[in-house]
Amino acid sequence: MKTVLITGASRGIGAAIARIFAQNGYHTFLTCAHHTEALFALQRELERSFGIPCTAIPCDMSDAEAVERLFAQLPPLDVLINNAGISYFGLLSEMSVADWHRVMDTNLSACFYTCRLAIPHMVRKKSGRILNISSVWGQTGSSMETAYCASKGGLNALTKALAKELAPSNIQVNALAPGFIDTDMNRCLSAEETAALITEIPADRAGTPEEAAALAWQVVNAPAYMTGQIISIDGGWT
C-alpha cells in the first residue's frame, strides 16, 4: 500500500487532499498543529468511508525537532504533500520579528524539515513525489501580506531548485499555487472584501478546496517528466 503524508490536514485544502488520497487507497498520514479534534475526526471519517489505514499525528511543522519525532513514527513515504501554512495580514513596518519568523518557519522552513527527512528513502528506491502547496501571492505579491508572499515565493524557488536536484533520482517536485479558495484562512475577510476580490476573478467565484485537491491528485500522478513546475488554479485571476 502506498503512503502519503499531508501536513496541515485538519481542514480546507489539506483535508480535501486527504480525502482524495484515501479514496484511492493510500495509507494516509495526517498532521496539524492546532485543530486536533478536527484532525482525529477526519481520521475516523477516512477509515470509515474508505476502509484504509489512516494515522493522525498532531505536530507543529515549524518545529524541526517535532518534525524529526514525527518522521520517527512514519514508514517510508511515496508522496509528501507540504500543505501546512499560516497567513499574516498587516503592514510590514508593524510586524514583529516573532510574527515574521512564525510565518517563515511554518510556510517555508517546515518544507525543508520534511523534505530532508523524506528524500533519503525516495532516493534509495528511485521513486517519489513531493508537492508543495504555495499561493498565487508567491508569484505576484500582495499588499498587507508581505511575509506570507515572501514565504510562498521562497517555497516556489525551493520547489524549482529541489526538482533539479532530485530529477536524476526520478523524484518529481512540483507546487500548486491556488488563488482565492473558500477556506477558513480566507474567512477572516469581510463580506465586502470578499466581494471585491471576486469581482477581479474572471470565474466570478472563489475556488473550492475540492477543486484544489483534484488538481493536487492530478499533479502527483502526472507523467514523470513534469517536475519543477508551479501550477496555478485561480479562476483566471493572474
Residues in contact with 191: Cβ distance below 8 Å, sequence separation at least 6, in sequence order: none
Work out the number of other CB atoms within 10 angstroms of the CB of residue 228: 17
Query: Which of 26, 88, 113, 148 is labelled catalytic?
Result: 148
Strand partners, 28: 4, 54
Beta strands, E only, the chain? 3-6, 27-30, 54-56, 79-82, 128-133, 171-178, 230-233
HSE toward the beta carbon, residue 195, CA cutoff 13 A: 3
Residues in contact with 65: Cβ distance below 8 Å, sequence separation at least 6, in sequence order: none
Instruction: Identify whether 26 is a catalytic site residue.
Output: no
3-state SS class at 138: helix
Q: Which residues are catalytic?
A: 148
